[in-house]
Amino acid sequence: MEKTAYRKNKKRRVFRNIIVAAVLVVIVVWFCNDSGIFSVKESVLTDEKRVSMTSKEITDKENTYDKKILKRHLYDFSDVTIAFLGDSITEGINGETGQADGLTYPEVVKEVLGAKEVYNLGVGGSTIGDYWSVAMVNRYQEIPADTDIIVVYGGLNDVFSGTDITMGDLETLEENTFCGDLDTLLEGIRTHYPESQLIVVTPMDSVTIEDVRKLNPEMEPIEDYVNAIISLAEKYDADVIDLFNNNFMNSYDQGVYDAYVPGCHPLDAGYQILGEHIAKEIIRLRLENK
């Protein structure tokens, strides 16, 4: 009898172990395929899907994914400081009031990531190059020494004020040109903040370009500036958040214009979405670099 009971118990133990093992396999597979835990995509959309969608549709789809990642991510930013060097979009000029009196995307980044500190070094009218207003190339050393992540987000004012002369080129990298001063800016950050992660953000496309072009017909295409940003970021091993080529919150799209960005400065809703997207991208790049 004892032998029979032992055999029955043994069968139960084997069956129980099989069930436990199966459950563990399911859990492991689920965790490994959960993009919010082990992997974060740059975009939830394929290039084929993107071509057939409006910028508003793309932005909303990406924001849904961004929120999912921000809700599930396990990366700890409680000891991380982030500095944003930028223009009026970083400062937080509101597209409705024209004043820095509303939400800013650096605030959103700090909140959703739970970062230790976020420094907002956005100044309205700021260009990257030293040929118009409060150039970033002249003030990047304002970034606090303890900064872990440095985000450079500019270029649109350079487009507005630029010509083929101020644009410069990637071959000569002359001073007082966009290409030359962006090179100096990124090299300077790399030299003065060697331990910081460097991220460069390309500008969102803006219907305001058409209005400014009437005043400055010598403007160079925004694509030239974006290509220079990406090229020099690669030169200095900087990460890139590419809003332009991903057609993110492009205000040429009437849907985006009405809901998020009535020109070049977002509304609070636009800043919320921009902050969530940049925060998600910081998580992605942080995980990739680690």
- pLDDT interval class at 39 (50, 70, 90): confident
Q: How confident is the model at residue 9 (pLDDT cuts 50, 70, 90)?
A: low
Residue 2's Cβ-side half-sphere holds a number of Cα atoms within 13 Å equal to 0
Segment 3-7 shows an average pLDDT of 51
Whether the Cβ atoms of residue 185 and residue 223 lie closer than 8 Å to each other: no
Which residue's structure tokens are 């965790």? 31
230-271 tens-digit pLDDT:
999 999 999 999 999 999 999 999 999 999 999 999 999 999
Residue 25: the pLDDT is 43
On whether both 15 and 148 belong to a single domain, the answer is no
The alpha carbon of residue 249 and the mean position of all alpha carbons in its chain are separated, in whole angstroms, by 12
Rounded Cα distance between 39 and 22, Å, is 24
* Residue 276, both tokens: 């969530």
99 and 5, same structural domain?
no
Are 12 and 47 contained in the same domain?
no
Q: Based on the structure, what is the number of domains in the chain?
A: 2
Residues 45 and 23 in one domain: no
What is the pLDDT of the chain when averaged over all its residues?
Answer: 90
242 phi and psi, to 5 degrees?
-100, 85
In this structure, what token pair is assigned to residue 212? Answer: 């400014």
Confidence of residue 16 (pLDDT cuts 50, 70, 90): low
Angle between helices 268-289 and 55-72 (to 10 degrees): 60
The token pair at 180 is 């030359």
Q: What's this model's pTM, rounded to 2 decimal places?
A: 0.87
Packing angle of the helix pair 222-235, 178-192 (nearest 10 deg): 30
Question: Amino acid identity, residue 30?
Answer: W
Cα–Cα distances in angstroms (integers) from residue 85 to residues 15, 52, 163, in the given order: 60, 34, 23
Q: Please report the pLDDT score of residue 74 as a whole number.
A: 86
Q: Report the C-alpha gap between 36 and 176 in whole angstroms.
A: 43
Of 29-38, 75-84, 167-176, 201-210, the poorest mean pLDDT is in: 29-38
| Bridge partners, residue 121, by sequence | 85
- % of the chain exceeding 70 in pLDDT: 87
pLDDT band at residue 290 under the 50/70/90 scheme: confident
For 123-172, what is each residue's pLDDT tens digit? 999 999 999 889 999 999 999 999 999 999 999 999 999 999 999 999 99
Residues 165 and 124 placed together within one structural domain of the fold: yes
User: Does residue 5 or residue 276 have the better pLDDT?
Assistant: 276
More confident residue, 120 or 38: 120
The Cα 42–Cα 150 span in angstroms is 19
27 and 134 share one domain: no
What is the extent of the structural domain holding 15? Answer: 1-33
Q: How many CB atoms lie within 10 A of CB 238?
A: 20
pLDDT of 56 higher than 50: yes
Going from the C-alpha of 286 to that of each of 8, 11, 73, the distances in angstroms are 53, 48, 12
1 or 195, greater pLDDT: 195
Residues 28 and 126 both lie in one domain: no
14/62 same-domain check? no
Give the CATH number of the domain where residue 235 resides: 3.40.50.1110
110 and 221 within one domain? yes
Answer yes or no: do 21 and 1 share one domain: yes
Confidence check: pLDDT of 12 > 50: yes
Report d(CA 170, CA 168) in Å as an integer.
7
Do 269 and 191 lie in one domain? The reply is yes
Q: H helices within 52-120, ranges in order?
A: 55-72, 88-91, 105-113
Same domain, 85 and 185: yes
